[in-house]
Amino acid sequence: MEIILKKDVANLGNADEIVNVKTGYAINYLIPQGYAILATASAKKVLAENIRQRAHKEAKLVADAEALAAKLAEVTVTLAAKVSEAGKLFGAVTTAQVADALAAKGFDVDKKDITLAAVKELGTYEASVKCYKKVMGTVKVEVVAE
């Protein structure tokens, strides 16, 4: 029996794939649980149209994310921190501080999307920013003494 998967199913396929399964598996498990629908001619047309529209939207989101990554590459964020006489920081610079500094410059970036190595000394570092699924940008973070 041919079905269209609505969700990812382990050892069977991913969402929006057309797969062949045994009739009992489809009727008794996949369809009642909401994992699949019957692959009728009209359902296949709807699926094709949804995939086409999703690809168009995805391309626009990726283009916007790449533009954001290009803008972020030009940005340098300066953070002031308390330091000891030896030049070591009291505490560390966090991704939340970088996100706040980026927000002050007009970039809406979530702190969960920022990856920063442990910053415990003064200097210039690079932080990676996840703009969209596989699109990454970089931001220069300069740590100075207060």
Q: Quick one: 26 and 49 in the same domain? A: yes
Count of domains for the chain: 2
pLDDT band at 133 (very low <50, low <70, confident <90, very high): confident
Q: Quick one: 75 and 134 in the same domain? A: yes
Which DSSP category does 28 fall into?
A: I
Residue 38 main-chain phi, psi, to 5 deg: -65, 145
In the predicted model, is pLDDT for residue 146 greater than 90?
Answer: no
Q: Quick one: 87 and 46 in the same domain? A: no
CA distance 67 to 3: 39
Q: Quick one: 54 and 104 in the same domain? A: no
Q: Quick one: 9 and 28 in the same domain? A: yes
Q: Quick one: 42 and 89 in the same domain? A: no
Q: Quick one: 83 and 124 in the same domain? A: yes
Q: pLDDT tens digits, residue range 16-43?
A: 999 999 999 999 999 999 999 999 999 9
CA distance 11 to 143: 49
Q: pLDDT tens digits, residue range 60-117?
A: 999 999 999 999 999 999 999 999 888 889 888 999 999 999 999 999 999 999 999 9
Q: Please report the pLDDT score of residue 86 as a whole number.
A: 84
CA distance 103 to 107: 5
Q: Identify the domain containing residue 78 by its residue range.
A: 66-145
0.75 exceeded by pTM: no
- Looking up residue 117, the CATH number of its domain turns out to be 3.10.430.100
What is the dihedral sign for C-alpha 110, 125, 105, 98?
A: positive
